[in-house]
């Protein structure tokens, strides 16, 4: 699938639909994932079930033929139950370039994780929504201006803003995600008070698990401990690519209760919630971080 967005000069322009150009820009990941052969009209063994293209009714049917009808349903029901959930790998795992959604999102920010998340969010709103990519942010208190990686807004002007990182390692190299949150939210606050700002991580999700979790893989070098110190000190809120994938599975099975503007918004209304992973909410309470399952209504 090829999705579209308009170009905006600022966050105010995005909120109020003042497009700098009356031209739709297109974006896709289909030239990168190599998971679908359009000449033969079928999925290839390079497909790692990222769900980006599934919102075409024709491709949805073909996807179910290739992966079996119960794949989305099975994964939907295993998400957010307290343990990490690893999305499926490509069947051609030895020779394909991208073996899984974790690997795909860990490689390139602007051509992999950013358009992939944008395409998912654009299709899982409770109402029609608009996407903005690389929206300029100007802040006189900083030497360099920035850009909001992904913005999505619904008809009621509820907004989700994501700063994308290919991995925890990538984020910790320069720690810019900390400054970016302060710089960007100071500007966003001038125009909206109905938004959620999250840092979205691709790559190895278990690096993001709390340091006391048996699933945490970021203990060597104290990178997870370092990250959670930033979470506490700078009020960072985050979400993983695996969690977004799981929300999409649930949206496809259960409908609009798993829309980004309902489900994600409700998750982070919990004042103790700092993150969302495939295992559930990451809660900070009584000076400890822990995983909390998400109950299904």
Looking at the domain assignment, is residue 66 inside a domain?
A: yes
The first and second tokens of residue 55, run together, are 């919102």
* Model confidence, pTM: 0.96
Q: Which helix (H) or strand (E) holds 117?
A: helix 114-123
The first and second tokens of residue 168, run together, are 């925890």
pLDDT value, residue 38: 84
pLDDT confidence bin for 158, thresholds 50/70/90: very high
Q: Which residue segment(s) compose the domain that 83 sits in?
A: 3-292
143: pLDDT strictly greater than 70: no
pLDDT value, residue 142: 67
pLDDT confidence bin for 163, thresholds 50/70/90: very high
pLDDT confidence bin for 82, thresholds 50/70/90: very high
The Cα–Cα gap between 236 and 182 comes to: 10
52: pLDDT strictly greater than 80: yes
The Cα–Cα gap between 252 and 59 comes to: 14
Q: How many domains does the chain have?
A: 1
Q: Is 284 helix (H, G, I), strand (E, B) or coil?
A: strand
pLDDT value, residue 139: 75
Looking at the domain assignment, is residue 297 inside a domain?
A: no
Separation in Å, CA 231 to CA 94, 151, 177: 37, 22, 11
Q: Which residues contact 198 (CB under 8 A, 6 or more apart)?
A: 160, 161, 162, 163, 237, 238, 239, 264, 268
Q: Is 211 exposed, middle or buried (0-12, 13-18, 19+ CB in 10 A)?
A: middle
For 106-137, write each residue's pLDDT tens digit.
999 999 999 999 999 999 999 999 999 999 99
For 245-290, write each residue's pLDDT tens digit.
999 999 999 999 999 999 999 999 999 999 999 999 999 999 999 9
* C-beta of residue 279 within 8 angstroms of C-beta of residue 82: yes
pLDDT value, residue 43: 94
């Amino acid at each position: 699938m090829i999705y579209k967005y308009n170009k905006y000069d600022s966050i105010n322009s995005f909120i109020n639909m003042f497009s700098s150009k009356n031209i739709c820009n297109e974006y896709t990941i289909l030239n990168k994932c190599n998971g679908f052969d359009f000449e033969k009209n079928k999925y290839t063994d390079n497909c790692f079930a990222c769900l980006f293209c599934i919102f075409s009714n024709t491709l949805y049917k073909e996807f179910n033929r290739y992966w079996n009808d119960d794949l989305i349903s099975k994964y939907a029901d295993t998400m957010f139950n307290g343990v990490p959930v690893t999305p499926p790998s490509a069947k051609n795992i030895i020779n394909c370039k991208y073996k899984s959604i974790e690997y795909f999102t860990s490689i390139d920010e602007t051509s992999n994780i950013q358009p992939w998340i944008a395409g998912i969010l654009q299709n899982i709103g409770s109402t029609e929504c608009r996407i903005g990519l690389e929206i300029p942010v100007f802040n006189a208190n900083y030497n360099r201006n920035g850009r909001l990686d992904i913005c999505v807004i619904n008809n009621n002007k509820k907004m989700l803003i994501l700063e994308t990182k290919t991995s925890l390692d990538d984020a910790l190299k320069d720690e810019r995600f900390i400054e970016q949150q302060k710089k960007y939210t100071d500007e966003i606050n001038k125009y909206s008070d109905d938004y959620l700002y999250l840092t979205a991580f691709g790559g190895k999700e278990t690096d993001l698990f709390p340091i006391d979790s048996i699933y945490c893989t970021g203990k060597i070098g104290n990178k997870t401990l370092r990250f959670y110190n930033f979470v506490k000190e700078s009020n960072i809120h985050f979400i993983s690519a695996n969690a977004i994938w799981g929300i999409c599975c649930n949206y496809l099975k259960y409908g609009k209760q798993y829309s980004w503007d309902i489900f994600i918004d409700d998750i982070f209304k919990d004042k103790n919630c700092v993150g969302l992973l495939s295992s559930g909410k990451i809660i900070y309470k009584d000076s400890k971080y822990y995983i909390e399952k998400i109950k299904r209504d």
